[in-house]
Structure 1
């Protein structure tokens, strides 16, 4: 949407000044950057599992396999989500970072605008098998419209409603809620049985943005105008944010303590049977690692305002996922490209996405029976029919930080027993919009 230049540089500097929920090669003396040796790559992986140690157990055998095949050693660092964006942005300005890295797909356009990432033009895509290997929904979150992708899809995910079968049955609820009104009504029955209703991560700015984006879509609103300008205070956006925060403030569906949650605590509560429902991205592997049997819970589409999920205002998830990027000034471009080819191969896509209960963005890998279970069917159907990509604009990371923080502050107000009004929501969103870069 925007050209690389002064505006992009301003966006990066502003992002560095903000707190959020990678980059070029070159030598590094701290062990965090790439190595001049053509036999070595450095890789920053995002924390996909229940812990960093879980990720290492998943990834290291595959990296060893790559080294055996190619002779290239991959030095792995799993970076927590709380640090990842700021680490990436620091690397784009310092030139000190890994050769290959994971990025949240919502950051693709904003990181693309820095000019630090390798563009995946037709020639580069041909080296890893071509554009047609990837499903369209995943490619839609790889960079600004009309530009070559800044990264390639690695894991595809969608939000779903996870529900504890026993807790719902004990409350006399025979099916999961399909609308928000049904969820609020079911919540009263669940609380009457002494259980909490719905987990949330009120202090996680990225999670907050993901949810209020979906609520805004359901209200027929968006956070940006057609020409990419922030529009955080429209009636639809304000109503959407208030509806989400009201799950705690008014409806008593989300526990007040969840206003402080930011590191998967809501997943843990659900796995331990403390809450009846959870809104999460592809949570099955995470729940299994915490000892929750697949028989104990069901998976349903995220509720909508009315009817069933589908096109238009019946959006019920953002197009979630992880992309794989290479920094343009890596000292080992051939090795980095070969690594991306390996990680997006049909074989590895099956292995990695099974491990993380995500959906392969590579079409051929989706044919594996493991991705056609009832649980995965919900996720695949959501991605195909009722998910929308977050705005692919250069200021997306600032948008996540500013709006996500506004929602965090509103949850804190609700948890403190203060009334959340349309006016107070609009005031927080006005403040968030003022924090966005001016063009």
Structure 2
């Protein structure tokens, strides 16, 4: 994975240079002008619902435009990055991408996606149809944006109320150390304090990012990487110790993805399921935790502290979700905007929430949902306390480097310990890779 990360860094810079020279625009999308190509992340949690949504969406699109939709997918952050790179290099590919918000800076840096002006916003129903908070990572500034919000996914904890009550816990932990202690108190008799997925391709870096932010470390400060630091080391140490030293995570979790950790919580075998979103709601229906769980904010006080330091950041979550971006190398931008307008309407957004549990970015839909479901308050609060990742074209590679530290540590976790020396060396390597990517990005003029 480290090798692929380095390759990705070099290609992003090459793509940026190509786009600046105008070389990325070749033959448009290079396919049927009456077929819109849309790429989204594969949905392993709700595959049947996703297939039905795609069929219904395509049918409605056909009725209103006469055009078809060709659906394409990526299944990992690396595939997401590679798909963007390949399309920009060739000038061919999907007309619309639904990308994770943290990948929007990388897409912006290529110069290959439509910048949203007044005309473009009007074409998707107006900029004011979107919740202002959801636009926080659509571009480097309010006047330079490419991301059109599709879904909002603030991260929170799901909590098993019964297991907390049995342990005498009456208040939700607000510090990472308190979470660890509460997890210890709820571990035993076949239960674990936390459900964690160490092998997930998306989750691990978010824990590290959050703890570091709470300590005042933003991972990227301007053009300087801040990975080989005490705050980041403390974050990884806390995260690794849960399964090794503290014993509050099932050792099987070392090889799990998020869906497997979710399943453990849904089976009533874990007290806390950190780093989840509203997407879990449908999965909890008719399970052992149905009616016995609630959501709570993730801690915002860093490891080793009882209160947030003066420079600490009250980041309850990354500014998370999906943005649509429209390729400017194609000739189907009118169709692309009609597709985005259709899927971000109030009714479409409420249906998207019903199927997948993802919060609407449509302001009217979000307001209606909040009024109807007061149990969503902690998640809505998390959305208000969300902070964006650094807006730099280098971020996608930096994100992969953070995950790579965990990937390299999996064998050590299985053996029972990640030593300080091992962690230090991996952070030094990640720091070097991240700084190199930032330097190349800077020299590319972006």
TM value normalised by structure 1? 0.85
Correspondent of 2:205 among 194, 202, 209: 209
Q: Paired residue for 1:418?
A: 417
CA distance in 2, matches of 1:338, 1:177: 45
Matches within 5 A, 1:42-191: 42-48=37-43, 50-81=45-76, 83-145=79-141, 148-191=144-187
Question: Are 2:248 and 1:268 aligned?
Answer: no
Compute the displacement of 1:394 (Å): 0.8
Which secondary structure state, in structure 1, belongs to the residue aligned with residue 114 of structure 2?
coil
Compute the displacement of 1:206 (Å): 2.5
CA contact (8 A) 1:150 1:325 kept: yes
Compute the displacement of 1:58 (Å): 2.7
Q: Which runs of 5+ in 1 are unaligned?
A: 1-7, 16-22, 28-32
Which secondary structure state, in structure 2, belongs to the residue aligned with residue 368 of structure 1?
helix
> What are the Cα deviations for residues 303-359 of structure 1, in whole angstroms up to 9, with x where unaligned?
232469xx9533221111001111112231111111111111222122212322122
Residues 13, 67 of structure 1: alpha-carbon distance in 2 compared, 3 angstrom cutoff: same
CA distance in 1, matches of 2:313, 2:189: 34
Compute the displacement of 1:363 (Å): 1.4
CA contact (8 A) 2:262 2:280 kept: no
Which secondary structure state, in structure 1, belongs to the residue aligned with residue 249 of structure 2?
coil
> What are the Cα deviations for residues 160-202 of structure 1, in whole angstroms up to 9, with x where unaligned?
1102223333334344433323322222222233312212221
> What are the Cα deviations for residues 47-95 of structure 1, in whole angstroms up to 9, with x where unaligned?
3461433311233212212221222221223432363332333222233
Residues 34, 367 of structure 1: alpha-carbon distance in 2 compared, 3 angstrom cutoff: farther
CA contact (8 A) 2:183 2:272 kept: no
Q: How many residues get paired?
A: 416
CA contact (8 A) 2:9 2:394 kept: no
Q: Paired residue for 2:19?
A: none
Compute the displacement of 1:246 (Å): 2.5
CA contact (8 A) 1:142 1:151 kept: yes
> What are the Cα deviations for residues 120-167 of structure 1, in whole angstroms up to 9, with x where unaligned?
123211222332322232211123346621221100011111022233
Which secondary structure state, in structure 1, belongs to the residue aligned with residue 361 of structure 2?
coil
Residues 62, 297 of structure 1: alpha-carbon distance in 2 compared, 3 angstrom cutoff: same
Q: Paired residue for 2:217?
A: 221
Residues 358, 202 of structure 1: alpha-carbon distance in 2 compared, 3 angstrom cutoff: same
CA distance in 2, matches of 1:338, 1:65: 11
CA contact (8 A) 1:24 1:95 kept: yes
Which secondary structure state, in structure 2, belongs to the residue aligned with residue 237 of structure 1?
helix
Residues 206, 284 of structure 1: alpha-carbon distance in 2 compared, 3 angstrom cutoff: closer
Which secondary structure state, in structure 2, belongs to the residue aligned with residue 75 of structure 1?
strand
CA distance in 2, matches of 1:54, 1:121: 34
Q: Paired residue for 1:368?
A: 368
Matches within 5 A, 1:302-321: 302-305=298-301, 306=306, 313-321=313-321
Compute the displacement of 1:224 (Å): 0.8
Compute the displacement of 1:395 (Å): 0.3
Which secondary structure state, in structure 2, belongs to the residue aligned with residue 435 of structure 1?
helix
> What are the Cα deviations for residues 354-374 of structure 1, in whole angstroms up to 9, with x where unaligned?
322122122122121466523
> What are the Cα deviations for residues 387-420 of structure 1, in whole angstroms up to 9, with x where unaligned?
1111111101100111111133235423321243
Matches within 5 A, 1:271-286: 271-279=266-274, 280-286=276-282
CA distance in 1, matches of 2:378, 2:116: 30
CA distance in 2, matches of 1:154, 1:223: 26
Query: Post-superposition, which runs of at least 4 consecutive aligned residues in structure 1 deviate over 4 A?
Result: 23-27, 289-293
CA contact (8 A) 1:304 1:316 kept: yes
User: Which piece of structure 1 moves more, 391-400 or 61-70?
Assistant: 61-70
Q: Paired residue for 1:378?
A: 378
> What are the Cα deviations for residues 226-270 of structure 1, in whole angstroms up to 9, with x where unaligned?
x23222112222222322222223322233322222352111221
User: Which piece of structure 1 moves more, 295-304 or 407-416?
Assistant: 407-416
Residues 24, 203 of structure 1: alpha-carbon distance in 2 compared, 3 angstrom cutoff: farther
Q: Paired residue for 2:392?
A: 393
CA distance in 2, matches of 1:324, 1:316: 24
Question: Are 2:286 and 1:287 aligned?
Answer: no
Residues 263, 9 of structure 1: alpha-carbon distance in 2 compared, 3 angstrom cutoff: closer
Question: Are 2:425 and 1:427 aligned?
Answer: yes
CA distance in 1, matches of 2:25, 2:355: 29
Q: Paired residue for 1:18?
A: none
Which secondary structure state, in structure 2, belongs to the residue aligned with residue 103 of structure 1?
strand
